Amino acid sequence: MDLVEKAKEAAAQRAVDNHIKNNFVVGIGSGSTVVYAVEHLARRIKENDWKISCVPTSFQAKELIRKYNLVMTDLEESPDLDVAIDGADEVDAKLTLIKGGGGCLTQEKVIASCAKHFIVVADYRKDSSNLGENWKKGIPVEVIPMAYVPVQKKIEKLLGNKAELRQAAKKC
């Protein structure tokens, strides 16, 4: 494991250790760093006989929860989350984020808004002075299908740039 991966793993473990306790309902986000968080959470649950319920933000998160045999729930059953852990595509000095590059922006935002605490785990490569320095794929905007064309036109008029459609298949 290279140094970046070791640092990501350590950061994810620290996020779990510092922010998750027994009987919590936890939002589980997506990305490579979240994988380390879920692995560590599974160990903590087993070692301490904790009762933790997990709410996924994406297909990847569902698969991680299943892989580690964690208790999965949803917002209908558990609308009040104690904490949500997720990654980010880019983070500036003010802790403003670009999120949703993986294609699950709306679900990630809904889960984050239901959590008392929102923890973002990201490595140094996601850090920037100004958003857009490192993340070159544009700002993700999730739109319901019927509104795609009008929203695209408004974004292009407002920003003077081309808004491109990108579909996230089997992501959320």
d(CA 28, CA 144): 23
Q: What's the half-sphere exposure (Cβ side, CA atoms, 13 Å) at 108? A: 27
Catalytic residue flag (residue 77): no
Q: Which of 47, 76, 108, 164 is catalytic?
A: 108
Helix (H), strand (E) counts: the chain: 5, 7
With tokens 């081309």, the residue in question is 162
The answer to whether the Cα torsion of 1, 170, 80, 97 is positive or negative is positive
**Residues labelled catalytic:** 108
